[in-house]
Amino acid sequence: MTMAARSVFVPPTRCPVDPVVMGSALFLLLAGLIMVASASIEVSARTYGNPHYLLMRHATYLAAGLGVGGLALLTPLSVWQKLEYPLLGLSFVLLIAVLIPGIGKEVNGASRWISLGFFRLQGSEFVKLFSILYIAGYLVRRKEEVQLRFSGFFKPLAVVAAMALLLLIQPDFGASVVIVAAVLGVIFLSGIPMRFFLPVIAVCATLVGLLVTLQPYRLARLTAFTDPWQHQFSGGYQLTQALIAFGRGEWFGLGLGNSIQKLFFLPEAHTDFLFSILAEEMGVVGAGLVILVFTCLVIRALMIGRTAAKQGEDFHAYTAFGIALLIGVQASINLGVNLGLLPTKGLTLPLMSYGGNSLIISCALVGMLLRIEYECRHKMAVLPRGRNRG
């Protein structure tokens, strides 16, 4: 048994939180802070006249994120379970509000934000969290119905489809893919019969295919992705610049702060393409380590879910799965985009990229995950050992 698995059985008094989740998350947050500092310095200096402008903002969000994460850690999971419907309602309010001119703020042709003066709230980030809480709650409430009737499976799908549709209107294709994938993943893990599940997967795949091919700008992105060097001065520009960053990195990178691509060649160097800059400055070794830590975090979250399931804490389990999938899917898409394995998509790297909403919600997810592990471990400690079959 690995050390990570063993920690579940450590009495709560000895270690207040799961060291693997905590360690991975802190590693990624710190690496993110350092890389944002390096990648944003030139952009900050040119755009804001202060080389530390974006770094200071990121640090502020990080502090807020740690606070939110701490609150999530202190919040019993039952509170979230009770808030399921209000949060679902809030999700739709947010998704509709961003679309209303005057409330929603349009940036680069997408209206994704609600301006709160000092802070621009990105609805989709909160909806990510709320959607997995909703599906977890639903699966717990309708346990039998979901297992037996297709309608029980179909109803939450309709809700999530409505969310995805609202996200596509913004448009925010990336967020809708992440949410749909996470929700479907949680349903899959809940043990739904494959005869319900497979047709839905087929329909989703068809829909995504249609979305990509029907909207010309997405198709252009797709073709640019398949041969970026052919389109290096149009659609493939960003990708070629990202690939060059990787090529420069070699084994150990150019050294922290020495990225050339961040000198305005690679757009979004401190947000969506932070990983490319990391690979340029830290090489295969640094970038590989980050991928490894993400995988550790995701697998550890899945293990926490499995433990909760074994204890019969289904809501805990589903929420843990949801968190694992949100972080895992989003990170995989972002890394895949950076590495040129997926078409370019506007998604941040959770816990690392610059961006207040993403950072705060990522911290909240980690805080909740720690809470789930804590509650399970606590329950384990007070239960008689004989009932532990894990």
Closer of 66 and 239 to other proteins (Cβ): 239
Half-sphere exposure of 304 (CA within 13 A, CB side): 35
- Return the residue of 91, 190, 344, 353 that touches other proteins, per CB under 8 A: 190
- Return the residue of 9, 92, 295, 346 that touches other proteins, per CB under 8 A: 295
Q: Which stretch binds other proteins (CB under 8 A): 94-102, 151-159, 189-197, 204-212?
A: 189-197
Q: Residues 222-261 vs other proteins: string with x where CB under 8 A?
A: -------x----------x--xxxxxxxxx--------xx
Query: Who's near 177: CB < 8 A, 6+ residues apart?
Result: 208, 329, 333, 345
Distance in angstroms (rounded) separating the CA atoms of residues 380 and 205: 41
Q: Residues 262-291 vs other proteins: string with x where CB under 8 A?
A: -xxx-------------x---xx--xx--x
- Return the residue of 305, 322, 355, 367 that touches other proteins, per CB under 8 A: 305
Distance in angstroms (rounded) separating the CA atoms of residues 103 and 375: 39
Closest approach of other proteins to the CB of residue 15, in Å: 23
Distance in angstroms (rounded) separating the CA atoms of residues 145 and 134: 16
Distance in angstroms (rounded) separating the CA atoms of residues 253 and 121: 35
Closer of 59 and 296 to other proteins (Cβ): 296
31-90 residues in contact with other proteins (CB under 8 A) are 42
Query: Who's near 194: CB < 8 A, 6+ residues apart?
Result: none
Largest CA-CA distance found in the chain, in angstroms, rounded: 66
Q: Residue 231 CB: number of other CB atoms within 10 A? A: 18
- Return the residue of 137, 236, 328, 367 that touches other proteins, per CB under 8 A: 328
Q: Does 182 bind other proteins (CB under 8 A)?
A: no
Q: Which amino acid is at 69?
A: G
Q: Which amino acid is at 103?
A: I
Distance in angstroms (rounded) separating the CA atoms of residues 157 and 270: 35
**How many chain residues interact with other proteins (CB under 8 A)?**
48
Closer of 114 and 260 to other proteins (Cβ): 260
Under DSSP, is residue 163 helix (H, G, I), strand (E, B) or coil? helix
Closer of 95 and 139 to other proteins (Cβ): 139
Q: Which stretch binds other proteins (CB under 8 A): 128-136, 159-167, 199-207, 322-330?
A: 322-330
| Helix (H), strand (E) at residue 351 | none
Nearest to 327 by CA among 305, 301, 307: 301
Residues found near other proteins in the complex (CB under 8 A): 42, 185, 188-191, 229, 240, 243-251, 260-261, 263-265, 279, 283-284, 287-288, 291-292, 295, 298-299, 302, 305-306, 309, 314, 317, 321, 324-325, 328, 332, 335-336, 339-341
